[in-house]
Every structure is written in structure tokens, then in C-alpha cells.
Structure 1
Amino acid sequence: MTSGYALAVRFTTRDADAAQQFDALVNRALEGIRNEPGTLVYVVHVPEDEPLVRVFYELYADYDAFQAHEAQEHTKLMLREREQYLISTEVEFLNEMTGKRPAAEAT
């Protein structure tokens, strides 16, 4: 078993306007998330035929990297502000077993 720690989160927004505002909130948070060294993947998906749903896949180097992500101000702001746009949130925490992942960036 490897050390990766991941989440799959399904958000359902209230309506098309809320989806747009939620997307803008996420895009602002991504400015900071892109600089988090332990956040390996942070991708937002829209399922086919479900325009009000957003599915996030987040992969962290390990649990400590996830905790560091949660402690960031841009993440705290997104967590605080997101509820006004949503009607539901479903979270699955995932422990990595095996697979293909992005290569570590050269430093």
C-alpha cells in the first residue's frame, strides 16, 4: 500500500446561477491550491447530463498533506463560502492501494 490519500466529493448546486458562483469560488481557491506541494491532483469534473453537479477528485501525497491543504486560508474560505451555493455534498475518503499517478515534479 502506498501513502497517497484521496477524496472524491460530489457537490450538487442549487441552480445554474449558483453553479456559476460556485465555480468562481473554486477557481479563486485553485490559485492557492496550485502552489501546495503535497496536493498532487485537484480536479473538478462535471458529470455528463448533470450540469448542476461538480465532482472533485483530490489526491494528496499523504494524510499530512491533506491536513496542510485544509489549513490553508484559501481552502478555509472556500469551505466557509460554498454552502450558500449547494443543496448537497457527498464525501468519500480514499486510501490509495495501487495505480498510476502523476510523476513527481523535478526540482
Structure 2
Amino acid sequence: MPQPFGLAVRFFLRDGTETAFDRLVEETVEQIRAREPGTLVYVTHTVTGRPNERVFYELYRDEAAFEEHERQEHVLRFLEQREQYVERFEVDRLAAITGKGYEVDGR
């Protein structure tokens, strides 16, 4: 049985780019909702008290669904355009153990 695959991504934005970055993210997420059945969860967050930080939580049906996500035109556009807004970012690859809202071990 395929295992869910997740990412936690933290973006550190350049001063003054927050609104434009959030607009780019919203456009991208609209396409993810419409075109990516293997993307189970894709949630973007602000960080309280740190207006230049954003955290994305992404959960995919499996690693193949993530790889398919990475090939999508809307994702490639996001990756290209984010450079003008992002100072740096950190990515953590996550392997699900247990949770609510999806099955990890077939139970």
C-alpha cells in the first residue's frame, strides 16, 4: 500500500513582498485544487508575529503523486516566480506515522 508523503516548507520573504507572494500562492493553490487528485492536503500558513514567514504543509497520496505535482505547469510557474519574493526557504520531507484524516497503515 502506498504511504502518504508530506512536506513542510518554510519561506522567508523579502520585505514588502508578502502581498504579491500570497497572491501567487493563491493562484497556484487554485490550480492544485482543480488538477491534482493526488495532492491530499496543501495548506499555506502565516506565522503569528513574523509577517515575512510562510509555512506550507503538503500531503500527497504517495511520493509518485508528489513527483506528478512537481511537473505541473502551475507549480513550475510558482517555482520560477517565487524567486523575486523569497530570500530563502527550508524544506522538510515528512514520512507519516499516524494521524487523523488519512490512513497510514491500512487501518
User: Helix, strand or coil: the match of 2:51?
Assistant: coil
Gaps of 5+ in 1: none
Gaps of 5+ in 2: none
Whole-Å separation in 1 of the counterparts to 2:3 and 2:88: 30
- TM-score between the two structures when normalised by the length of structure 2: 0.89
Partner of 1:4: 4
Contact 1:5 1:61 in 2 (8 A): yes
Q: CA deviation at 1:2?
A: 6.5
1:1-107 equivalence runs, <5 A: 3-15=3-15, 17-35=16-34, 36-101=36-101
Q: Deviations over 1:44-63 (max 9, x none)?
A: 01111011100000000000
Q: Deviations over 1:19-54 (max 9, x none)?
A: 111111111111110021000000001111011100
Whole-Å separation in 2 of the counterparts to 1:58 and 1:37: 13
User: Helix, strand or coil: the match of 2:84?
Assistant: helix
Q: CA deviation at 1:102?
A: 5.1
4+ runs deviating over 4 angstroms:
none
Name the count of aligned residue pairs: 102
Whole-Å separation in 2 of the counterparts to 1:2 and 1:98: 14
